[in-house]
Amino acid sequence: MQVKESIIGAMTALITPFKNGKLDLETYESLIQRQINYDIDAIVPVGTTGESATLSHKEHKECIEVALGVAKKNRQEGKNIKVLAGAGSNSTQEAMDLAKFAEISGADGILCVTPYYNKPTQEGLYQHYKSVAEAISIPLMLYNVPSRTGVSLENATIRQLFRDVKNIYGIKEAGGNLEKIIDLNVQEKDLVIVSGDDALNYPILCCGGKGVISVTSNLLPNKIAALTHNVLNDLDYPKAYVLNNELYKINKALFIESNPIPIKAAMYLSGLLKALEYRLPLIPPSTENLKLLEQILTQYEVVK
């Protein structure tokens, strides 16, 4: 099978900053530029880490436009940054609308999470993704995160989508099952698999993964970029292994409460966010967990 057009490498699942209940687009721009400055290959605006479930469609589209604007400016300066726009919903029609907007606006591809709450069958998932992908011509990456959506995209369905739909090129896998990933890699060697679980970035890359979509890289883009590039570009597994071990504590701490609660708190504590705001029903972390994050952050240098 011919390898499809793909977006790979070190990618960041961007948080969405708020100020007084509204989008803080000025901070958003600066956070995106920081990612690019520290060698991230692609940015992923308004995925689930970006609190997309509680953004209005207008806000969702604004975030995509801002990300594309920063990317365009950097491309003019010779930096090859990609934008993989979040375009997921539990409504197929809404996901299609967001995907079409992303394409028209100039996104390089879209990331589409499995529909949440509905708990569709595998055939329902197949039809959902086929419909979204066929509504656009840019690459589409599947996103499986059963702990958050209540449904798992099975390997047989993933393989069928990859074979049947020309612009479905890969999957962000966040199910925590390495055997599932190995099976996919063996059965469908041209399918692009990326890690959606920072704790498993290194083993997934070692098992044939072509990149990561990281939460931790919001805080430590230089470290996540180095780990990913050490494996993919340099085949320097020992150096990547050392980085993986170094990141273990922060990777674990960033999931002590529901994502993106801890990552936004860590960024606030590190001076990357001016305000610590979430959209209800998400709220700030407990006092105990905030202190734990503060303690763990003393072990890391957060570059500005």
Contact assessment for residue 57 and residue 89, using Cβ atoms and an 8 Å cutoff: no
Structure tokens at 197: 């679980």
Catalytic residue selected from 82, 172, 180, 210: 172
Structure tokens at 194: 């990326």
Cβ-count burial 84-116 (b if 16+ within 10 Å, e if not): bbbbbbbebebbbbbbebbbeeebbbbbbbbbb
Catalytic residue selected from 126, 143, 169, 202: 143
Contact assessment for residue 125 and residue 114, using Cβ atoms and an 8 Å cutoff: yes
Contacts with 282 (C-beta within 8 Å, 6 or more apart), sequence order: 51, 54, 258, 260, 261
Query: Which helix (H) or strand (E) segment is 111 a member of?
Result: strand 109-113
Contact assessment for residue 258 and residue 265, using Cβ atoms and an 8 Å cutoff: no
* 172 catalytic residue (yes or no): yes
Contact assessment for residue 48 and residue 14, using Cβ atoms and an 8 Å cutoff: no
| Cα dihedral sign, 16-201-247-292 | positive
> Which of 120, 131, 130 shows the shortest CA–CA distance to 154?
120
Give the angle 84-68-32 at the CA atoms, nearest 5°: 80
Burial (CB count <10 Å: 0-12, 13-18, 19+), residue 256:
middle
* 130 catalytic residue (yes or no): no
Residues with a known catalytic role: 143, 172
